[in-house]
Structure 1
């Protein structure tokens, strides 16, 4: 994530300081400037928090410790400057949320949500909103729901993306996991949004909900399928992708992947041993032995060796296709084996297995050398 860290660097923080100094010249902004000069070896999230602490210190030094309304006024004035944009908006949103949560002002919680909506076209407020959701989920969702009718697509996306149960890079909000039904009205309002940017967030949100509430997700997807627009099939398909990989019967049925009469050959590998880094090529045949066309979701499963000597499986999507009665199709794929931060490979016995419409077929063993 080294390159990502540089999204908030000294130059970006210097630009932010200049914008804020123009909006509020009485504030010294020296702590924020110093934070920008001391970002080395910090990750992106750490840089965000470091700069936010500098902003809070500067506001306090100007005689406004814990004053949300003053900070909100400064940030809103800064919105008139086109340079008030980019990844340094993230520490600005975190600063606003920190002050709002500490504020005794009865309306500051809702005003901070509104401020995030104003800031999100400059850079998404999806990370900062998490602390407001964690503090009072129902109070926050009441405001977020109004964003589903907002004229700006960035704000509508924030309604879906900011409330995802498993938003990448973001802190977890226990209430979103414990109450998966809480955000379904937001998704219902947005699944036919005219912008693909918003619809993709809705599909990813629905996929997040599938971790703990698969039956509810299938019910939502069925309701959308019954009242679709031209983009709904993609939204539903993308939202059900994990349940399809997990062979959930309801998800498979909703996508038309019914049980079929098939003959499937074991996967043939191009090598018995994979020495990292390398690609493993494989192929196999599928034949429709039934009397009706068969719509198929074709996946494959890699059984990885773990450090403790056991195996862990991961399902990968290969393709979707329809085979006519008597038709045979040869399928092929190359699967990469590379050491990555998200997947550490261990030497030993692995296996590759096929999964078609949720049914597993014969697997083929191979070795991995690291």
Structure 2
């Protein structure tokens, strides 16, 4: 499987070049021909930008001319698909913005919808959203969300996500609470799991900056739910639940509870990097009503500067009758992974139950045992 940067490869550039030459036989396309030589060391988005700029250089006409060429390539080249679609759609969006008229803008939106099933147009639509948010959202909410094509409906949600991975930000979206909620309202009951998953991820993004807006939307959906709504909402509020956001927890059925929490207890005070620690705890419902509990735990990692940063991990859910006691346990590994760097020194673990953190239990994370390999094996 290729690394992410290699998804747009030299072969991608050559395939795109052949497709454009087939659509416009008299085009020399020198910039496209030269592009593969300049890809080495570039991250994925820069590779997309390189091919976008090459297209715009080699096809210097107006937007209508570029759109005709792209549609000819789409209809005439069976391999006009996959990761080459990113730079193509990026060129379409850039040319429409440069043209500056409503007709080009609207046709660019239409062309992105036509192409999105061949990979995705979610990255390119950001350019149009940044240029004219109101016009783009009117098309997205009024047309894309009603499309018969699940790829287009997903594009409506995914393309407008506040924190879409690999994509440029749209400041007007992150600064405007709820501006994309009408798109989510139209799609949260969608028949396609593919679309609903995007809605959940969009809701999760929204909650990062505007938690109350996200919870308010979820509350409306749950007031008239489809069979799939509760699952979507749980996934969409997952980060808020990890943060202990009271409104999201209460909406999902985890209100405040009267508890006696013993622990967490750790089976060792010193944990070498590459090994694990076992945590246990006992929780008793000391209230006079049943308590539904979302039980997580937080590892408070030492940072390079000596500070602490907490990462929350799911543990379990339980319902306790008045006076009932339950025990929980979990092994937590400090095996080195590529997405986290461990720093030896003081760490701590705490529980978080329905958003309320317990006392922290400290331990020392020690340097890795030199007899272990990088993957933690002997």
> Which TM-score applies when normalising by structure 1?
0.93
**Aligned counterpart for 1:78 among listed residues 73, 83, 93:** 73
- Once residues 99 and 339 of structure 1 are traced to their aligned partners in structure 2, the CA distance between those partners, rounded to angstroms, is 46
Per-residue deviation at 1:349?
0.6
Q: Structure 1: give runs of 5+ residues left out of the alignment.
A: none
- Once residues 178 and 35 of structure 2 are traced to their aligned partners in structure 1, the CA distance between those partners, rounded to angstroms, is 41
- Once residues 137 and 241 of structure 2 are traced to their aligned partners in structure 1, the CA distance between those partners, rounded to angstroms, is 30
Query: Does the alignment pair 1:199 with 2:199?
Result: no
Equivalent residue, structure 1, for 2:89: 93
Aligned-residue RMSD, C-alpha? 1.9
- Once residues 28 and 326 of structure 2 are traced to their aligned partners in structure 1, the CA distance between those partners, rounded to angstroms, is 70
Equivalent residue, structure 2, for 1:171: 168
Query: Does the alignment pair 1:113 with 2:106?
Result: no
**Aligned counterpart for 2:136 among listed residues 140, 145, 148:** 140
**Aligned counterpart for 1:266 among listed residues 245, 260, 263:** 263
Equivalent residue, structure 1, for 2:275: 278
The aligned runs of 1:231-310 (5 Å cut-off) are 231-310=228-307
- Once residues 213 and 328 of structure 2 are traced to their aligned partners in structure 1, the CA distance between those partners, rounded to angstroms, is 34
**Aligned counterpart for 1:189 among listed residues 186, 189, 196:** 186
Aligned residues: 365
- Once residues 338 and 132 of structure 1 are traced to their aligned partners in structure 2, the CA distance between those partners, rounded to angstroms, is 44
Aligned CA distance change for structure 1 residues 276 and 44 (closer, same or farther; 3 Å): same
- Once residues 103 and 35 of structure 2 are traced to their aligned partners in structure 1, the CA distance between those partners, rounded to angstroms, is 31
- Once residues 31 and 95 of structure 2 are traced to their aligned partners in structure 1, the CA distance between those partners, rounded to angstroms, is 17
Equivalent residue, structure 2, for 1:367: 364
CA contact (8 A) 1:36 1:51 kept: no
Per-residue deviation, residues 233-273 of structure 1 (Å, max 9, x unmatched): 01111111122222222211111112223332212323322
- Once residues 270 and 28 of structure 2 are traced to their aligned partners in structure 1, the CA distance between those partners, rounded to angstroms, is 63
Equivalent residue, structure 2, for 1:160: 157
Equivalent residue, structure 2, for 1:50: 50
